[in-house]
Chains A and B, each alone.
Chain A
Amino acid sequence: MNKLKTNLFSALRAIGKFLLSVLKHPKGRLGVILVGIVVVAAIFAPYLTPYELDDYDIANGLAKPSAEHLLGTDKNGIDILTQILYGARISLIIGITTGLCVTLLGATLGIVSAYFGKVSAAVILNIINVLLVIPTTPLMMIMSNLSSSYLMMIAIFTLIGWCGTARMVRAQVLSIMNMNYIRAAELSGGSKTYIMFRHIMPSVSHLLIMNCALSCAGFMIAEAGLSFIGLGDPSVMSWGKILVAAQESAFTSGLWAWVLAPGAAIFITVFGFMQIGYALEEILNPKMKRKRVKHRKKSASPALDAETVFASMTEMSVEDAQALKAEFEAGGTNA
């Protein structure tokens, strides 16, 4: 019991430390703030605005931005800001769920295809080949005839979108598969499933976490696009849908806020997720860390600089060797 407690405690502390390192990273901080704003807007939408999505007020339709309606109203007099706040919900739900599903499915199939024998590899690679050739947008358009619910959209995105992640994971797994620690684990009798979860998963996890954040962003754009061409869930408000209505009536009446605001909302969310993704990449990628360490070592021990070695080999002063190197790095000699 006590052991479990300490384990739990240390796990929590590790997670906390990780989250803190994201917040400390400048890109991560920016991303967390942007996404945080959108999440707050989505959760507290009913409290942030005095209007509802069905507050018809046709007499006050197509109103310009004012103190009552910060971004104006649409054809039916519904407040645009309210629509944007509620639209954040579906965007976040679809983006995050699809991102997670795609990453999980892609990671599992990617590892299985690399590590579990030739048959599974052949099957999965062939499926990937087919998926890569099928034009995604048209297939989604045809398949969304199936059902217009947003759950269906998540399912379709996942079914089509996993192959990129799977390919990336497969390449990574293939490159580490013959490393000594995997060999050692095999020799000491670890089962394939055990090795997959205990040794391979952690070594690709940095890729997965980063990929998850980036694919969340990508699927949010895709969702907005699909609902813009009229394939979204008709029962929920989404940013793409606001833009459709804006295209119909905002252009001629010059209601700039109506066109700009939903796009800005999409941009803020997507940009936030991307920044988190880039920050995670820099924090988690062991190669980037190693580079930093190497760099520090090099500058700490100038005795091993190439110029010094070169100077000791030839009869040249260290300064001359450094000048030669600088000249070379600047683009060669004047031959």
Chain B
Amino acid sequence: MKGYYLKKVLSSLFVLFIIISLNFFLPRMIFSDPAQPYFAGVPEDAIALREQIREANGFNDPLIVQYFNYLGRILTLDFGESHYYKESVWTVMFSRIPWSMVLTVSSLVFSIIFGILFGAVAGKKRDHAPDKALLALSGVTTAIPSFWLALVCVMLFAFTYKIFPYRGAMTAGYTLSMNGVAFLIAFAVCMAAAITLKLVLKKSVFIFAGIPVSLAAGLLVSVPMADILDVAYHAALPVMIAVFSGVISYALLVRNSMIAVTNEDYILTARAKGLPPRVVLYKHTFRNALLPLITNVGMSMAGLMGGSVLTEKIFSWPGMGQLLLDACNNGDYMLSQAILLLFAVITVVCNFITDLVYHKFDPRVKEV
């Protein structure tokens, strides 16, 4: 078991190393001059000044020296300064991450909940009305580009009937105020309660459930209610669209997995034992059918981060996707490479957590 995790950690580190190297070599391929991002605001003909900048940033060193300098900087988590925002890359990113999280996490949670419900109803019996409805829907919804759906919804709900706001994450003029101390206290209290419950009742579910619950409690305590409602009002439309395009795939996954589990021998055993169908369905079939969902959620967490570019653009949502798009359009390479690396790190971490959780819930994989 330990060997497995060691291998997993090593391969994750290797992947991150490749991505860092890619970040180093990409600007040398994309731009005619790798120092291009550093020249923001410097006129074309100021050759002496450009040469000075190039020398100051080490672009005249041999490539291998530049490479190791770059590795050193990344390993000390120094991403430099964004040339467009004139601020440290970290500051710029940290002001955007919470907004992306609001969108990503809420749409993920709602899609999973509705996906499980719909998938369980459809997977209960093959070829029944809900099952057929799900299959037909999945054929149609995968062909609908979600950004177009977002556009149509914006036109319908924000312009024709002015139900929802069409841009931004908060009403203009508002700023989000957050009491950091209150957040930390609430978070710590809830986590402590969860850990105590785990130690007393010996069920690790409390830890897994405790983290999101504590985060939510912290936010509820630290952010004024009016602000939360305002953000929720602005997030409603983008989240609904994300849920609509995400829910069918989760439902399909649960449905397929339920049908696969129904054919397992232990379901036959459960039925042969004379258990009521309800118990067989919910305690044996349904619970086991949720296992593949763990892997899928872990994988899609990272995909949602990157894939939200379109939604964020349509709704002018101040998240990471929008930031990356602006960074690409402004040639702000310091920022875009940091975002790429951050997304990769999130993916690697999510994969790792997924693996851990999966092992926790499915003891069968331990034998492998």
Contact = CB atoms under 8 A, between A and B. Distances in A.
Interface of A: 126, 129-130, 133-139, 141-146, 217, 221, 224-225, 228-231, 243, 246-247, 250-252, 254, 256, 259-260, 262-263, 266-267, 270-271, 274-275, 278, 328, 331-335
Interface in B259-280: 271, 273-277, 280
A217 to B, nearest CB: 7
A273 to B, nearest CB: 9
A142 B336 contact: yes
Contacts of A334: 276
Interface in B26-56: 26, 29-31
Nearest to A258: B155
Interface in B151-171: 151-152, 154-155, 158-160, 166
B328 A271 contact: no
Contact of B30 (A146, A224, A225, A228): A146
B328 A141 contact: yes
A221 B145 CA distance: 6
Interface in B132-147: 139-140, 142-145, 147
B148 A266 contact: yes
B25 to A, nearest CB: 12
Given A332-B271, A332-B275, 6 more contacts: A130-B15, A133-B344, A228-B147, A247-B314, A267-B148, A332-B277
B30 to A, nearest CB: 5
5 contacts: A130-B18, A135-B306, A230-B329, A274-B139, A335-B273
B143 A217 contact: yes
A23 to B, nearest CB: 19
Interface of B: 11, 14-15, 18-19, 22, 26, 29-31, 139-140, 142-145, 147-149, 151-152, 154-155, 158-160, 166, 271, 273-277, 280, 302-303, 305-307, 309-310, 313-314, 324-325, 328-329, 331, 336-337, 339-340, 343-344, 347-348, 351
Contacts of A274: 139, 142-143
Nearest to A260: B152
Given A130-B15, A142-B328, A243-B148, A251 B271 contact: no
A266 B305 CA distance: 24
A134 B344 contact: yes
Given A133-B19, A221-B145, A335-B275, A243 B340 contact: no
A135 B145 contact: no
Contacts of A259: 151-152, 155
Contacts of B158: 251
A246 to B, nearest CB: 7
Contact of A142 (B30, B139, B347): B30
Nearest to B14: A126
Contacts of A143: 26, 30
A262 B148 contact: yes
A333 B274 contact: yes
Nearest to A269: B143
Dominant SS at the B interface?
helix
Contact of A251 (B22, B155, B273): B155
A225 B343 contact: no
Going nearest first, the 9 A-B pairs with the smallest beta carbon separation are A335-B274, A263-B148, A331-B277, A135-B306, A271-B143, A135-B343, A270-B143, A137-B306, A332-B271
Nearest to A278: B139
Most buried by B among A126, A129, A142: A142
Contacts of B18: 130
A287 to B, nearest CB: 15
Contacts of A142: 26, 30, 328, 336-337, 340
B270 to A, nearest CB: 8
Most buried by A among B148, B149, B302, B325: B148
A51 B325 CA distance: 34
Contact of A138 (B144, B147, B149, B324): B324
B160 A254 contact: yes
B274 A267 contact: no
A135 B340 contact: yes
Contacts of A243: 147-148, 151
A129 to B, nearest CB: 6
Contact of A247 (B142, B151, B329): B151
Contacts of A254: 159-160
Nearest to A136: B306
Contacts of B339: 138
Contacts of B306: 135-138
A12 to B, nearest CB: 33
Contacts of B145: 221, 224-225, 263, 266-267, 270
Contact of A133 (B147, B148, B152, B347): B347
A247 B150 CA distance: 11
A126 B19 CA distance: 13
A250 B143 contact: no
A252 B11 CA distance: 52
A126 B14 CA distance: 9
Contacts of A332: 271, 274-277, 280
A225 B145 CA distance: 8
Nearest to B346: A135
Contacts of B303: 135
A135 B336 contact: no
Contact of B302 (A129, A135, A231, A250): A135
Contacts of B324: 138, 141
A205 B166 CA distance: 47
Contact of B159 (A130, A231, A252, A335): A252
B351 A225 contact: no
